[in-house]
Amino acid sequence: MAQFRETPYSVFNYLVNLDDGTEGDIAGGFSEISGLNAEVTVAEYRNGNAPVNYVTKIPAIHKSGDVTLKRGVIGADNIYSWLDQVRAGDVGAKRNVTVKLKSEDPTSSTAVVTWKLINAMPIKWTGPTLTAKGGSDVAIEELVLAVEHIEQE
C-alpha cells in the first residue's frame, strides 16, 4: 500500500525485481526507469434520438506503455538471456516485474510505492555507444519492456 506524506518522495532510491532473483543485486540495479504509464481509451457513442447534440464518452480498452530500464554494463547476462527466451518464441518468458520506490531514510528498507508490471517481456535491447574520445562516460545498456498492465500498490 502506498504511504502518503505531504512532501513528494525523491526518485533516486528504488529497487527493480525482474522476477529472476536479482532484486537488490548489482545485476538488477538500474540507473534509470522511464515510461511508467497507463491509459484508458474512450469510445464515443450517441443515440440517434438523444436530446443533446454531443457524444457520450464511454471507457474502453486500457493499455500500458513500454517501460525503459537503463543500467551500466557490468557483464551480467540476465537481460540478454531473457531477450533470447523471447526471440526463441518461449511463451513462458513473460514476467511480473516489480519497481519499488523507497523512502530516502537510510534506516528504512520498506517500499513506499510499488508498481507491478504485469506480463512484461523485453522487446528491445540497446547496447552502449562506444567512443574512443573522452573516456569518462559509463557504458549504458537499455532494455525496453512491453507491459500488458501496470498496478500500483
Instruction: State how far the Cα of 66 lies from the Cα of 64, in Å rounded to an integer.
Output: 7
26 pLDDT band (50/70/90 cuts)?
low
Q: Residue 1 domain-assigned?
A: no
pLDDT of residue 93: 94
Q: Residue 111 domain-assigned?
A: yes
Mean pLDDT of 103-126: 89
Q: Residue 8 domain-assigned?
A: no
Instruction: State how far the Cα of 104 lies from the Cα of 101, in Å rounded to an integer.
Output: 9
Selected residue with higher pLDDT from 133 and 43? 43
Q: Residue 7 domain-assigned?
A: no
Name the residue range of residue 94's domain.
14-152
For the segment 55-114, what is each residue's pLDDT rounded down to a tens digit? 999 999 999 999 999 998 988 888 999 999 999 999 889 999 999 998 887 777 788 899
- At 114, which CATH number? 2.30.110
Instruction: State how far the Cα of 138 lies from the Cα of 38, in Å rounded to an integer.
Output: 31
Q: Residue 2 domain-assigned?
A: no
Q: Residue 123 domain-assigned?
A: yes
pLDDT of residue 131: 85
pTM (predicted TM-score): 0.84
Q: In total, how many domains does the chain have?
A: 1
